[in-house]
Amino acid sequence: MYFAANPDAKHDEHLVDYHIDDIDLKFTTDAGVFSKLRIDYGSGVLIKTMKELTFPEAGILDVGTGYGPMGLFAAKFWPDQEVDMVDVNERAIDLAKRNAQFNHIDNVNIYESNIYEQVDNKYGLIITNPPIRAGKKVVDQILSEAKEHLVENGILLVVIQKNKGPQVQRS
């Protein structure tokens, strides 16, 4: 399960290349993390959408970063902003750190946190593709507690594929 702290899946690393405008990033992925074979459709939509946003310059938070595609693209779009990237999954955190280093991105802080437990700052932008399979309670917590971590006029940008909505409602 990609939303577990210590996934026990056998390692199966892959390299994923993703290109937006003039930015080309490469990501090492692995079993036990979300969307290991490609950048999923929802994350791609969020990445393309966020680059058009205007928000308070107070930093960016990526909740449930996985191997880091959304947070690392945010760091490239706004090199003058600090991007905090959090996930409960230790394997995902390790991959996100490796991907930041490989892509020469240094305006990021990547650390373990179960949703907002280790997050003390307030941000101008919070981005998330929440872990639907973790259930409604987890998704609700990500959404409802975001306001405590946004500055005034801050933006929460969320992507959930429409075919996953019923799954959240049933959990």
Q: Picking from 37-41, 47-51, 150-154, which range would have the lowest pLDDT averaged per residue?
A: 37-41
Class of domain 14-170 (CATH, top level):
alpha beta
Q: Using CA atoms, how far apart are residues 128 and 105, in angstroms rounded to an integer?
A: 20
Phi, psi of 97 (to 5 degrees): -65, -45
pLDDT number for residue 12: 73
Average pLDDT, integer, range 81-104: 96
Per DSSP, what are the bridge partners of residue 150? 123
Q: Using CA atoms, how far apart are residues 33 and 88, in angstroms rounded to an integer?
A: 11
pTM of the full structure: 0.87
Q: Using CA atoms, how far apart are residues 33 and 133, in angstroms rounded to an integer?
A: 12
C-beta of residue 73 within 8 angstroms of C-beta of residue 47: yes
| Strand, coil or helix: 86 | strand
Domain boundaries, given as residue ranges, for the chain = 14-170
pLDDT mean across residues, the chain:
87
